[in-house]
Amino acid sequence: MKITEDILYVGVNDRNIDLFEGQYIVPEGMAYNSYIISDGKVAVMDSVDSNFVDEWLGNIDNALEGREPDYIVVQHMEPDHSAGIKAFMEKYKNAKVVSSAKAFPMMKNFFGTDFEDRRIVVGENDTLELGSHTLNFITAPMVHWPEVIVTYDSKDKVLFSADGFGKFGALDADEDWACEARRYYIGIVGKYGAQVQALLKKASALDIQIICPLHGPVLSENLGYYIDLYNTWSGYKTESEGVVVAYTSVYGNTKKAAAYLEEKLLENGCPKVVSFDLARNDMAECVEDAFRYGKIVFATTTYNGDVFPFMRNFIETLTEHNFQNKTVAFIENGSWAPTAARVMKGMLEKSKNLTYCENDVKIISAMNEESRAQIDALASELCK
């Protein structure tokens, strides 16, 4: 696939994978992207997953038509982007590997060598001349590993963005970009919002016409749309107005309360209500929407003096990813000593800028007239 006159795509599609990073369901597979910049010198941008190294090397051979690459630029050492480095260096004996100082110890750990006699270490504002193309390197530590760099080609105005602007799904997946890019960002990069904001600030000084990420499609139109979304996500801002109702239920009574609340929210004119059974729905989807919408209700049973395990896992995942800037409410259920609301609030203590609703709901075993009235009041407050 030709991206510009001198830049070609040589990545691969993975349609066999079921769980990315061992936890994220990817029904439409994954793309592992790699690119070639062909000039006076030839640079290959990143490698691919270990299952596709032979295919990737074949793609490079086909694209270069007899030429050999001079460099492989390694922006990120996570194995889905670096597994082919050693095979590449063994095949192309004259090539050099270009990466950040922190990447080479990782290569030693992964491959048993740090290519000491064939490496070029680059940092902030360093450049690599290929001919008419100049590669400008920008450090991006903790987006989302410490060694990460991104690369700007000043001739074609292309930003090679590492894991930034990536998404779940193979390149031939027919699906909306934002949904799977949001789930990817929040799940994988979302903890590092401050670092992403710092990188966006650096990128704002560049004239970017094309973004080439390491996952997902090349972006060449409406770049403001994608950059604005990244600014929203990394700034932990509300993307969409609405309420998330996240619940667990043992015998169905908390589920009934969640359904009743959803009904009342819609009656009160709430623009969007998203409800999740945390024991059954994809946890990554639940986390995605908890960050997307501005308000969330946690509804669960008291369980062994704590909260139901799926709710504990959900809240721990949220706080691990820097959950903040939300309006929060609780529905707790318990047959003799309800403590779930207190436990959940304690779990959220380190989250910044949470606004707690005045109306919480306490259910003793099953809904009654009093708890329905509490839900009515909560729905009214959330829809103001």
Top-confidence residue, 298 or 338: 298
Residue 188 resides in a domain = yes
Please indicate, yes or no, whether residues 190 and 249 belong to a single structural domain of this protein: no
Is residue 159 one of the residues assigned to a domain?
Answer: yes
Residue 370 lies in a domain: yes
Same structural domain for residues 87 and 228?
yes
Identify the domain boundary among 170, 204, 234. Answer: 234
Q: How confident is the model at residue 1 (pLDDT cuts 50, 70, 90)?
A: confident
Domain stop point among 215, 234, 253: 234
pLDDT at 29 over 90: yes
CA-nearest of 75, 77, 76, 86 to 43 is 75
Asked if the structure places residue 1 within a domain, the reply is no
Measure the CA–CA gap between 344 and 302, rounded to whole angstroms.
10
pLDDT digits (tens, 9 = 90+) for 101-148: 999 999 999 999 999 999 999 999 999 999 999 999 999 999 999 999
Q: Which of 234, 261, 290 is the last residue of a domain?
A: 234
DSSP string, 270-315: -S-EEEEETTTS-HHHHHHHHHHEEEEEEEEEEETTEE-HHHHHHH
User: Quick one: pLDDT at residue 42?
Assistant: 98
**Residue reference for tokens 């095979």:** 87
pTM (2 d.p.): 0.93
> Does 219 lie in the same domain as 256?
no
The CATH number linked to 74 is: 3.60.15.10
**Residue 201's domain spans which residues?**
7-234
Q: Is 133 a domain residue?
A: yes
Do 277 and 310 lie in one domain? The reply is yes
Domain count, the chain: 2
Same domain, residue pair 179 and 323: no
Q: Are residues 284 and 159 in the same domain?
A: no
Give residue-wise pLDDT tens across range 300-339.
999 898 899 999 999 999 999 999 999 999 999 998 888 9
pLDDT at 30: 97
Q: pLDDT band at 68, cuts 50/70/90?
A: very high
Provide the percentage of residues in the chain whose pLDDT is more than 70.
100
**Residues 104 and 252 occupy one common structural domain:** no
Say yes or no: 266 and 216 in one domain: no
- Paired with 302 in beta bridges are 307
pLDDT in tens, 73-108: 999 999 999 999 999 999 999 999 999 999 999 999
Residues 270 and 349 in one domain: yes
- 168 within some domain: yes
Q: Are residues 229 and 343 in the same domain?
A: no
pLDDT at 384 over 90: no
Q: What is the mean pLDDT of residues 157-172?
A: 96
- Integer CA distances (angstroms), 355 to 281, 295, 313, 325, in order: 26, 9, 22, 8
H helical segments located in 190-246 = 193-203, 223-234
Q: Is 131 in the same domain as 266? A: no
- 2 belongs to a structural domain: no
Q: Say whether 98 sits in a helix, a strand or coil.
A: strand
23/131 same-domain check: yes
Average pLDDT score over the chain? 96
Structure confidence by residue, pLDDT tens digits, 195-239? 999 999 999 999 999 999 999 999 999 999 999 999 999 999 999
Distance in angstroms (rounded) separating the CA atoms of residues 168 and 148: 20
